[in-house]
Structure 1
Amino acid sequence: MRVVDSFRRSVRCHGAAPAVRTDDGRERSYAELDERSTRLAAAVEARVDDGPLASLGVNGPEMVESMVAGHKRGAPTVQLPFRAKPAELVRMCEAADVEVLLFDDAKAGTAHAMLDRGSFEAAVHAGDADVDVAGVASYEDVLADADPSLDPELPRDGDVSVFYTSGTTSLPKAVPFDGEQLWYGGIQGVMEHGIDRSDVGLLATPWYHMVSSDAWIYPHLIAGATVLIQSDFEPTDTLELVEEHEATGLLAVPTQLTALNDVQAEAGYDTESLSYVRTGGSVVGERLVERTHEHLSERLCNTYGMTEAGPNLSFARPEDQLDHPGTIGTEAHTYELRVVETAPIAEDPDPEATVDPGEQGEIVARGPGMADGYIDNPEAEAKSFFGEWLRTRDVAEVDEDGYLYIVDRVDNMFQSGGENVYPVEVEHALEGHDAVREAFVYGEDDDHWGKVVSAVVVVDEGVAVDGDDLDDYCRAETDLANFKRPRNYTVRPPSASIPRTSTGKIKRDAVIDELGG
């Protein structure tokens, strides 16, 4: 089974129902989404045969149409991260052999710079703005002129989507998926949240991410539900959309949830329609869980995953997080996870060398929804994929009940006095303080210890908290070993937040550079 097969079922059964709704009032029924994606697929086929199409734009119906078109062609739609610089985007397109560039009004300037730098067979502009660039076609004209049907031999048996990793530790890597792999992720989302045709799922995260696509857009399209699209995140607008459209589900990363809770605490929008909120991408602390229960929904689902693995490797139900605070849950429906003895980056871990409950090890995973590798990056592929297993490089513990707890990335670990310190573990402890919004922990050079634990802490507005207060908290209220306690603190106001990626991961190298490291 492939995503396109389930999508066609939704078209047959719910053709007149809304598939996509946007924050600017546009709507596509399933029948309309089907027709427009078919025309786009036919237009691209006529121009470049099986050549990849790259889409660059903010959240919008045209981006969803380009996704579905890739499934109908059996040729990749390359989902470009729209916050990247033109030169980097051109390199991404070159690595994936992109031949057609589709872009919207919001990213027209970036697209123009890409067209100047790169080599594309065709370019298409979706929007109302004037585009004074030779050879760029109008999206609506392209659809109007296209064949309304496709070659019956399509789709090909090949990759249909290309995603990019977050690039927090290296340049983003291109990860291809076929329609069957993505179907496993999509149907997993349907099962996890019980999505049906009555649901309205609000997408507040960038569409191009794996989680936005395979954990949100595809599950709703598979189920015949409605995807409510916010073009660009702004917390007040998000809450207004929930209230106006009676959204039943919301996808938001932890940093977005923090902003939503702040606004909701003051404004009090009607969020009673929300059956659940789905989050992930970075550690979800107990304080964030409590605030989300208070202000948005008592059903906060926490997930863990990575681009290469599909939408999520584990899933924590709301009740799991109450009984097992800090957990990322248990393995998701279509995956097998193991916590095994860590190995050097240059060596493959042994999937049979599982650790005992309470011990730390590295998560490895396998399942039919995972990617098979990277595009044109054999060195990185050899470090991540071995046999049927995927190496996550995430250190975790598993408890007696089988619940997983992320400790940190293998790459982030440093030693202080010969002892291993994982920054995320210390950050999570600090974020348990009532006044702490977020924390960043790193190893600062020290003549005696080699490195000492140091922390940058962002606190609530108007709260007087200093390093001594935080040290007292770590001693009295956390389980941190003495060698893990920060020895140096930098306390910041909310306006000096810690830089993160669009999925909520801390840009560690950027923070260390800022600190002069």
Structure 2
Amino acid sequence: MRLIDYLDKGASLDPGAPCLVCDGEVRTYAQVQQLSGRIASALAAHGIAAGDKVAILSANDPTAFTCVFGISRAGAVWCPINPRNAAAENRALLDLFECSLLLFQAAFAPLVESIRAALPHLRTLVCIDGEVEWALGWQEFLAAGGDPVDRHAPDDLAMIAGTGGTTGHPKGVMLTGTNIETMTAITLMSYPWPAGGERPSYLALAPLTHAAGVLCFPILCRGGSIVIMRRPDIAEFLDNVETHRITHTFLPPTLIYMVLDHPSLDGRDLSSLQCFWYGAAPMSSSRLEEALTRIGPVMAQLFGQTEAPMMISTMSPSDHFADDGSIARDRLSSAGRPAPLVTVAIMGEDGRLVPRGDRGEIVVRGSLVMRGYYNNEAATQEASALGWHHTGDIGYLDEDGYLFIVDRAKDMVITGGFNVYSTEVEQTLMAHPAVADCAVIGLPDEKWGERLTAVLELRPGTCVDTAELTTFVKARIGSVKTPKQVEIWKDLPRSKIGKVLKTEIKKQLLEPDGGSDGPHKAET
């Protein structure tokens, strides 16, 4: 399926049904379908051929999201660009993707102006919601369209997504229509959906350039409505769940913690929720248990990566509970079970697959896995060595088939000759009632080789002694896994999707003046 086929499928069920809802404005399937056709025709009129790369630089916005379907209908390739990226990273991505046309919001015109001269492939700039002297206006762009256009992209290529530049040069992940179709099929197979012909309603607060965007496709093919939030606001998020009777939504753990800490949560009616997806970063087991109690038995995990979008493994709401109805605490730190259409295995350092219970790199096969990295054959070959896609995550499968991710391979700390997985230490620290979030890293140390170091962010209004924290960890997982250095910072550095940036933390700690917020450093 092409991306446009999901919209057209929903329109075939009821063209007058709500499709996109934002700030009180409702756009029906027929209206979105019609606009996608005008966009496709305008793209063709401006020289966009099947297979050309078209980028969108926008915050969450219904017109920008409709452009995704116009690009697909024109047979072009969607290149999502996150406005939260630094200008240099977005320039690198647009250049890497060889984008011919850029659709952008006026709010990001200064960013575009600062980089456009350095983009030789970029022929056309279109501002979708304002007037910019050096770009086409939205109505001017649409007016150039002529005959209807409905093409197929060559080689099934649907989108190219950037991996981000926080760990080195960004790479372009080529995702095909088959990849997205596999992800959509897994989503429909693995999670609860309304029965009896009722249509789902999905609340998109997280960026539509990432997980929140691709999760729209299974909603659309069931004729559901997508409520778009332009900016993250937890009170508004809760209002929308109640007002629009939201059945499905997705948030990364950081924002779920904010939901749990919101003073009005317990007085809200969240009974419409059937599936509250969480993912994109590890979630504290203790806070997940809190969410299952206070939000409801609707939490649903997904684990994937850009190269194998969203659904390497899944954990439905019912999987969070034992047969007797109690919370299955031993599963809460897992990533669920391998998805129905994906083969998951654990590979040792020698390239051989290891038995259940043994740790190694998580590797996957199946039609979920990307075609490769755009114009980067060396990286593609490395990621697909030995006939498996290599995730870079260290984990194991237990006897019940649940996948446990113990660390990123690059995040494992070797201290005093022992391998310590930072995720285990982070989960233990997160169980302390004063800790809001944390990161555990290794720093160079003459005695230990690497000094296990924890950097913490506390919950508002709390205070804790670092010695108390180390005692807390030591009592639960032993002295080897207890941080030798503990820092408390006001805010942890994060990526545009809320992931804690360990590379930035390490960089700050290795600078002469350190990186902490005032006198909150303790060595134990």
Q: How does the TM-score come out when normalised to structure 2?
A: 0.90
1:346 counterpart residue number: none
CA shift, 1:154, in A, is 4.0
Match 1:328 to one of 327, 332, 335: 335
2:90 aligned counterpart, secondary structure: helix
CA shift, 1:94, in A, is 1.5
Deviations 1:337-360 (A, max 9, x none): 1112135xxxxx34xx22332x21
CA contact (8 A) 2:91 2:119 kept: yes
Amino acid at match of 2:486: Y
CA contact (8 A) 1:264 1:296 kept: no
1:16 counterpart residue number: 16
CA contact (8 A) 2:162 2:170 kept: yes
Deviations 1:308-334 (A, max 9, x none): 002221111234333222111001122
Match 1:337 to one of 322, 344, 352: 344
CA contact (8 A) 1:328 1:405 kept: yes
1:96 counterpart residue number: 97
Q: Does 2:496 correspond to 1:502?
A: yes
Amino acid at match of 1:329: G
CA contact (8 A) 1:36 1:143 kept: no
Amino acid at match of 1:331: P
1:370 aligned counterpart, secondary structure: coil
1:310 aligned counterpart, secondary structure: strand
1:231 counterpart residue number: 230
2:136 aligned counterpart, secondary structure: strand
Alpha-carbon distance in 1 for matches of 2:30, 2:460:
49
Amino acid at match of 1:501: S
CA contact (8 A) 1:70 1:160 kept: no
The share of aligned pairs that are identical, in percent, is 26
2:190 counterpart residue number: 192
* Structure 1 residues 143 and 392, CA gap change in structure 2 (3 angstroms): same
Alpha-carbon distance in 1 for matches of 2:153, 2:485:
58
* Structure 1 residues 286 and 87, CA gap change in structure 2 (3 angstroms): closer
Deviations 1:231-269 (A, max 9, x none): 121212211222222211111000010111111556733
CA shift, 1:412, in A, is 1.2
1:515 aligned counterpart, secondary structure: helix
CA contact (8 A) 2:6 2:218 kept: no
CA contact (8 A) 1:159 1:177 kept: yes
1:489 counterpart residue number: 486
CA contact (8 A) 1:42 1:149 kept: yes
Amino acid at match of 1:123: L
Moved over 6 A (4+): none
Alpha-carbon distance in 2 for matches of 1:483, 1:193:
39
Amino acid at match of 2:102: L
Residues paired across the two proteins, number:
497
1:114 counterpart residue number: 115
Deviations 1:115-158 (A, max 9, x none): 3432321111111x332x23x1122332244235115x545443
1:465 aligned counterpart, secondary structure: coil
Alpha-carbon distance in 2 for matches of 1:356, 1:195:
32
1:212 aligned counterpart, secondary structure: helix
1:484 aligned counterpart, secondary structure: coil
1:21 aligned counterpart, secondary structure: strand
CA contact (8 A) 2:288 2:332 kept: no
Amino acid at match of 1:355: P
CA shift, 1:398, in A, is 1.7
Q: How does the TM-score come out when normalised to structure 1?
A: 0.91
Larger mean Cα displacement after TM superposition, 223-232 or 102-111: 102-111
1:34 counterpart residue number: 33
Q: After superposition, where does 1:362-377 map in structure 2 within 5 Å?
A: 362-377=361-376
Alpha-carbon distance in 1 for matches of 2:7, 2:460:
47
Amino acid at match of 2:107: A
Amino acid at match of 1:326: S
CA contact (8 A) 1:384 1:390 kept: yes
CA RMSD of aligned residues (A): 2.1
Amino acid at match of 1:178: T
CA shift, 1:55, in A, is 0.4
* Structure 1 residues 6 and 445, CA gap change in structure 2 (3 angstroms): closer
Structure 1 gap ranges (5+): 344-348
Amino acid at match of 1:302: Q
CA shift, 1:46, in A, is 2.2
2:110 aligned counterpart, secondary structure: helix
CA contact (8 A) 2:279 2:302 kept: yes
Alpha-carbon distance in 2 for matches of 1:460, 1:17:
42
Deviations 1:9-28 (A, max 9, x none): 22222211111111x22332
Alpha-carbon distance in 1 for matches of 2:269, 2:470:
39
CA shift, 1:408, in A, is 0.4
Alpha-carbon distance in 2 for matches of 1:397, 1:441:
20
Amino acid at match of 1:52: K
2:390 aligned counterpart, secondary structure: strand
Deviations 1:268-323 (A, max 9, x none): 33322222210101111122212322433321111111000022211112343332
Alpha-carbon distance in 2 for matches of 1:64, 1:464:
43
Alpha-carbon distance in 1 for matches of 2:248, 2:374:
34
CA contact (8 A) 1:279 1:300 kept: yes
Larger mean Cα displacement after TM superposition, 98-107 or 285-294: 285-294
CA shift, 1:64, in A, is 1.7
Structure 2 gap ranges (5+): 321-326, 512-524
CA contact (8 A) 1:287 1:434 kept: no
Larger mean Cα displacement after TM superposition, 420-429 or 198-207: 420-429
1:355 aligned counterpart, secondary structure: coil
1:395 counterpart residue number: 394
* Structure 1 residues 471 and 264, CA gap change in structure 2 (3 angstroms): same
Deviations 1:72-103 (A, max 9, x none): 23321111121112232122111111111100
1:283 counterpart residue number: 282
Amino acid at match of 2:213: S
Amino acid at match of 2:207: P
